[in-house]
Every structure is written in structure tokens, then in C-alpha cells.
């Protein structure tokens, strides 16, 4: 575990639209859940993503990984557990675990890496106030 803020758990119930013809959650849904988990993590850390975006910054995805371990189906209760893995001057990485909260089975793990960009889409340093909000401590 890193020195960063504690993991955050987002509860989701699998919607029918998230399943495929075989009746299991479509692989792309996990990536959407990762993003929902990241945004929820940031809100729980006191740094709503909308606040960052309104200030003219965004976190563009540079890499996303997902390892599928067990199937989820329509109606299953899911927990998306998100944690901050690393923070650099321009980059941030989050890690994810997706659990079936009824059975406790780990269904997927993954990560996403992001680079801070300004309104024009140019790479920029993560503002100090954002870095401090992400880590829960002053970087000075």
C-alpha cells in the first residue's frame, strides 16, 4: 500500500445493458467502471473531478489494463475498489479491483495511467492544489 489516501469502494449493480449475448458483463464495462471508481475516489478524497475540469485541467488516459478473472452477470452486486498507485509531476496512476460483493470473488483487476493536460490538450504539470488533494497532504 502506498502513502496515498485510502482505497475507495464504489457499489454498482450490473445493469442489463452491461451484459453481452452470453449473459455476462461485456469486457468494455469494466473500463467504464474503472472510470466511475476513479471519479468516486477523487470525490471521496475531497477533490471532485468536475472541480479540476472547471479549472482547466483534465487527466487524459495514456494506458489502461484489465485482467478478467471471473464472470459477472446481470443483477450481480459489484464493488469497484480504487486506489491511487502513483503520482508524478505530470502523471497519475490508479489501481482497481472488481469484486462480486455477494460472493466475495475477485472478478477483475486493472490499472489506468493518466497525464495532466490543459484546456488546449497540451501536457502540463499537475497543479499543486490537485496533487495535494490527491495525496491528502501538502507537497511543500
Backbone dihedral angles phi then psi of residue 123, each to the nearest 5 degrees:
-60, 140
Active-site residue 20, yes or no?
A: yes
Instruction: Give how far the C-alpha of residue 90 lies from the chain's centroid of Cα atoms, to the nearest Å.
Output: 17
- In the chain, % helix, strand, coil (3-state, to 5) comes to 25, 40, 35
* C-alpha–C-alpha distance, residues 9 and 97, integer Å: 9
Q: Which of 3, 11, 20, 76 is catalytic?
A: 20
Grid cell for residue 39: 471519479
> Which three-class secondary structure state does DSSP give residue 57?
coil
Residues 6+ apart with CB under 8 A from 39: 49
Helices (H) and strands (E) counted in the chain, each on its own, are 3, 5
Residues known to be catalytic: 20
Amino acid at each position: 500500500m502506498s502513502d496515498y489516501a485510502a482505497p475507495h469502494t464504489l457499489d454498482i449493480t450490473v445493469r442489463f445493458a452491461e451484459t453481452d449475448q452470453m449473459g455476462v458483463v461485456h469486457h468494455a464495462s469494466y473500463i467504464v467502471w474503472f472510470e466511475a471508481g476513479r471519479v468516486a475516489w477523487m470525490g471521496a478524497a475531497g477533490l471532485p473531478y468536475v472541480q479540476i475540469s472547471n479549472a482547466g485541467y483534465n487527466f487524459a488516459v495514456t494506458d489502461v489494463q484489465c485482467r478478467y478473472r471471473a464472470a459477472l452477470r446481470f443483477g450481480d452486486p459489484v464493488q469497484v475498489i480504487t486506489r491511487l498507485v502513483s503520482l508524478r509531476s505530470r502523471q497519475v496512476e490508479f489501481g482497481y479491483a472488481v469484486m462480486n460483493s455477494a460472493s466475495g470473488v475477485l472478478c477483475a483487476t486493472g490499472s489506468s495511467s493518466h497525464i495532466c493536460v490543459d484546456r488546449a490538450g497540451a501536457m502540463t504539470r499537475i497543479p499543486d492544489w490537485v496533487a495535494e488533494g490527491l495525496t491528502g497532504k501538502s507537497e511543500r
